Structure 1
């Protein structure tokens, strides 16, 4: 007896969400490290404050100011989690701001392998200031960066994010040089490696443009709804 299954009309959406999950798996350790590290510092500072509070002759204003700075840093790291809330509001932000956020999230993982993530130098054309939905662009940017950094052909010395060829809403991510001594990217348990076809599918799902070739990828940002 042959059993037939109905067509999974949601399959493309599930596939796109799977690609997003693979990108999240690469970004989340950085956010977790930032939050856990700051909590450790604050716990140690609380112990110091408790001891000094017993000595009324020693002012605590400097230590309290440090605690406020730590709280602000912790709050900033926690707010980064909103970028992975698919149901949350996605207000348009300047492209350059989203690129900087992508750099903050991707650089630590690349640096562990001796790779650099670079933005345009002051002598080069600046990144666009066009305001576009941040979450889709951030996801695709991180995907493009890790796609090039994890290339089966070998890791590049650096990955650069530059203005793209299609106007103010376009970005180009390109690999430069060869990091001959860099270790290969550690595989993500239970997940296949990122590839250009998977990111093209995700871009289509997010309403963005995507082009890629050996050592480069270009993203046309989705327009605000």
Structure 2
């Protein structure tokens, strides 16, 4: 480590490594810029290693105010571990209905807790975006340009929904593809368990709030 001491003649520093010490060297005997660069280089090495890359002079880089990015290539943060994550859940709305998709592609709500068509496979397709598929019918939850919910035989961009955890602990699901006058359109079940048009639903409405429940 680098230890600075003050003596009568002036400032000295000692460098100690592997139990051996170099004799104290007077600070005045070295050009001030070189001493500063040396200290900066030692500090940078101690903080995690900025070893010189090929074709780069560390002292020159420090003199130019260059950071250590030439040794650690910066990559966009990867969330690949989230993609493909699959959860089996029943989406229970704040209006006390389970979202379901029947074999004809009709989206509805049911109060039956163990209804087969309400068991959903929620798959993460990208960060914060999911695809929802009925396990029993194999149909994907989809939203049309007009905000109508339906079951799609094939997975397509209309089947992508932004999943967001709200402050009350419930989730909301907004169409990734479609908007109405610039506003998000949400998956929603009204007080009778019927799907609402996406453009009529708002994030704060209880009809858009769903609790992913583990199957029993």
> TM-score under structure 1 normalisation?
0.19
Q: Tell which has more relative contact order, 1 or 2 (C-alpha 8 A, sep 6+).
A: 1
**Structure with the higher helix share, 1 or 2:** 1
Q: Point out the structure with the larger strand share.
A: 2
